[in-house]
Structure 1
């Protein structure tokens, strides 16, 4: 039986908290000196003066020493441990690993550096980092727009053991080839955010422009109006969600204008190929791309195509992706265009819970609020409540396993100080003495967790604390 990514990550989980909680958490935050868990300065992959300044000013606004310690460990974790900056083919290049896997996921790499975008205008080194990552994303898209993860060497064969025998069209430079809509959305979100924050147009050259046209072509291919398209994927695995149905093309659909996704942001297979959070994210990203194409590349034609596709996706989602409940409409998680609908939510972003965070709807939108209530309830089979916390997980790590990411998104999408405070308390109470966030933890026992080095969760937590310092400072003062 082959080792899967899921197996590897479980093996990499750290020792029980009994061996970890010997000092800080058990001793009491008010009397404990919390030693930094950051690497020594000489061993950090990347240092930003603007990030260090923000860490210092934000820490000063946090009333609880343990929470301040968690923030200082987590917020710079991507820069400290996962960023590789250099040049490639004569351009700035940035490669960002997920943490404990030596490959770059398009989604994770974009999300990991997102909290630093707001600081890029203050820091030339950060600008170079973002320029390099935007170039790298464009290169990855040109290699294979259907891949979710890539190798540092664009000509290398995948070194991921679980991907060696996949039945799909693998190419050099690709680490894993699971087609996920958000893999093409996140680079647009990052590029748009960077441009808005800095006004810098240097990364948006001819190669980037060509890559964005590939994004548009790929989204259209996966509307599957004229057949199944070129993508297929199968994997020999004891875990069914590692492979796809019907020779790797997925379950049947009726083409209605939405984009087919074979895998979710969790890297788990879709049940119904129209993933609603992914499609709504795509519509948002296409509108952002259109704005950039017009303003930077003066390409009104392709921009118009992006807007037309975004409108088509939005209409199809409104028509086929809505569940009509007794208390009002709310979003499904996946549908097939035939009328079959799956309701659940998964902690990985894009999720239903995260729609306002991604700009896909307003936080006060009535349909979103109904969806949010359903997702954070027993209506969602992957909502878990235990002695340690309440939160959303997903099939990837199974029952009882809450993802801290879901608790963070609960706080991001709330204006209720009590609700936000509860989320912060859960996050502070479930790091199992490590000083970092994890992929998932058991609802009753945070010592049972997966992934001791998961940079996305760490920097997302840091982003949450920075956001709360601006929008709800009283929560941090009282924490």
Structure 2
């Protein structure tokens, strides 16, 4: 074995850091066209940073990108896959290290993209893009290590601030906190801005921790990991937090209940605050559904019994109970989780299924337990459209199929239609702005070749030449889009194309989208 002297290692490290300091800001880089362009009709930009500028390198991901070149025949679709699938690893692994009080506790600070903060929901879904490639691996330079680091850091965040949705870098990173211009005027419970970037309470944020835990365990079988560190404590915090939000607005005698979370701010947007002194619209007591002040879009709910988040929470609480049962000495907690999940499912069936005059039995987007219902869907996951994607039900479920027909029609007030792209949007990006993320979920939940090909063609043609998946695109003008750097949506597209191959629908990958 050839030895390298310490001075040479120091020089090599110095050269590496010097090269890293020359790396472009991806917020700017992702708005510019870079050679070589794809050879298809749309001549899409190459958007990957040079290898020395990538935030994490994985040989298995690189091998997958290479292998898919012979599968995806359309050069523009392949360019989008090549750009998007590794986007989180290329750009969003802001810091990796270990806890200050435990050198065995891996930590991964994973930013959402153009916002320098870590969302519980986004980071769980960003890692899910690589789930098919994850295997048990103790190496600190593996996808499994990244997963462990995200789970550990999410557990810390939940214990520090269980009502918050996005967080600042850990102190160990040496990265200072970012300022959020959307700080509210008043909310409870108060949390330090050194810990949380934003404290919008979203039930799906807690479900995301259960999701990434389930994903890692089912991929690796690594039960020992969950016996260490703070996972069990985080689960207990999630249970106590969500159970505290089963409460209705009024007590049995008519008095107003004290609720554990409120949010109120002065704003020009109704989706950025809650009425009734930060409590939101009244919710009936005793439904068995968990309140959510905000949606996964970070927009406030109209009716706080938000069905998609309850679906996602019930599904992953149940699967996480299986992990808890295998840890040892946690059988009571595991049983409690399983039974809690079952009660939520029953409540969704009782209150979340409503009768539509045109579509029959469907799932409502939000309800209040008094009979009020919000019939719509939003692009962000969890959505009603994505219920089979995250495993709450089978895609063939008749109530889901009725709901899906409504969602993908003009009867959904947020289904954006036009010559550029037809997809679900939402109030977050505004009217007329369709979300490619929703087109991707449409593909995940379809086996129709024509439906999938139509959605892929719209995705390919709507990147404005940049070859990345935007947050939203105007359904009449592909030059009007939001967020040039949105890692979750990019990884989701890569995950989707791999899923098509896995489902035996590789024929759509061999088609032309010119």
TM-score, with structure 2 as normaliser? 0.86
Q: Is the 8 A contact 1:258 1:317 kept in 2?
A: yes
Aligned equivalent of 1:208, options 225, 231, 235:
231
Number of aligned positions between the proteins: 464
Shift of 1:202: 4.2
Aligned equivalent of 1:190, options 200, 212, 215:
212
Aligned equivalent of 1:254, options 284, 287, 293:
284
SS at match of 1:42: helix
**Partner in structure 2 of residue 170 of structure 1:** 191
SS at match of 2:276: coil
1:244 and 2:274 correspond: yes
**Partner in structure 2 of residue 346 of structure 1:** 378
Aligned equivalent of 2:334, options 278, 303, 315:
303
Q: Is the 8 A contact 1:131 1:202 kept in 2?
A: no
What CA distance in whole angstroms lies between the structure 1 residues aligned with 2:234 and 2:379? 29
TM-score, with structure 1 as normaliser? 0.92
- In structure 2, the CA distance between the partners of 1:422 and 1:299, relative to structure 1 (3 Å rule), is same
Structure 1 range deviating more: 154-163 or 174-183: 154-163
What CA distance in whole angstroms lies between the structure 2 residues aligned with 1:80 and 1:164? 33
What CA distance in whole angstroms lies between the structure 1 residues aligned with 2:434 and 2:413? 12
- In structure 2, the CA distance between the partners of 1:158 and 1:228, relative to structure 1 (3 Å rule), is farther
What CA distance in whole angstroms lies between the structure 1 residues aligned with 2:184 and 2:374? 32
Shift of 1:118: 2.2
**Partner in structure 2 of residue 42 of structure 1:** 52
Shift of 1:469: 2.0
What CA distance in whole angstroms lies between the structure 1 residues aligned with 2:150 and 2:428? 28
Structure 1 range deviating more: 167-176 or 391-400: 167-176
**Partner in structure 2 of residue 6 of structure 1:** none
Structure 1 range deviating more: 197-206 or 264-273: 197-206
Deviation readout 1:23-70 (Å, 9 max, x if unpaired): 958xx60796x6631000000000111111111112220110111111
Q: Is the 8 A contact 1:21 1:433 kept in 2?
A: no
- In structure 2, the CA distance between the partners of 1:354 and 1:371, relative to structure 1 (3 Å rule), is same
Shift of 1:415: 0.7
Deviation readout 1:151-196 (Å, 9 max, x if unpaired): 0035976621222645341234111000000100111111111111
Aligned equivalent of 1:234, options 242, 258, 264:
264
Deviation readout 1:447-469 (Å, 9 max, x if unpaired): 10000000011000111111112
What CA distance in whole angstroms lies between the structure 2 residues aligned with 1:135 and 1:343? 37
What CA distance in whole angstroms lies between the structure 1 residues aligned with 2:34 and 2:409? 31
What CA distance in whole angstroms lies between the structure 1 residues aligned with 2:168 and 2:225? 21
Structure 1 range deviating more: 309-318 or 348-357: 309-318
What CA distance in whole angstroms lies between the structure 2 residues aligned with 1:31 and 1:231? 48
Report matched runs for 1:17-416 at 5 Å: 24=37, 29=40, 36-83=46-93, 84-89=95-100, 90=102, 91-121=105-135, 124=139, 125-153=142-170, 159-163=179-183, 165-168=185-188, 169-171=190-192, 172-204=194-226, 205-224=228-247, 227-255=257-285, 256-326=287-357, 327-416=359-448
Shift of 1:390: 0.6
Q: Provide the aligned C-alpha RMSD in A.
A: 2.3
SS at match of 1:265: coil
What CA distance in whole angstroms lies between the structure 1 residues aligned with 2:162 and 2:171? 14
Shift of 1:315: 1.3
Q: Is the 8 A contact 1:167 1:233 kept in 2?
A: yes
**Partner in structure 1 of residue 488 of structure 2:** 456
Q: Is the 8 A contact 1:13 1:449 kept in 2?
A: no
Shift of 1:296: 2.6
Structure 1 range deviating more: 134-143 or 119-128: 119-128
**Partner in structure 1 of residue 4 of structure 2:** none
- In structure 2, the CA distance between the partners of 1:349 and 1:297, relative to structure 1 (3 Å rule), is farther
**Partner in structure 2 of residue 5 of structure 1:** none
Shift of 1:384: 1.2
For structure 1, the 5+ residue unaligned runs are 1-11
Q: Is the 8 A contact 2:36 2:46 kept in 1?
A: no
What CA distance in whole angstroms lies between the structure 1 residues aligned with 2:270 and 2:27? 23
What CA distance in whole angstroms lies between the structure 1 residues aligned with 2:370 and 2:136? 51
1:476 and 2:509 correspond: yes
What CA distance in whole angstroms lies between the structure 1 residues aligned with 2:499 and 2:66? 15
Off by >2 Å, runs of 4+ in structure 1: 12-15, 19-25, 153-158, 164-168, 225-229, 325-328
SS at match of 2:335: helix
SS at match of 1:323: strand
Structure 1 range deviating more: 58-67 or 297-306: 297-306
SS at match of 2:419: coil
What CA distance in whole angstroms lies between the structure 2 residues aligned with 1:36 and 1:406? 24
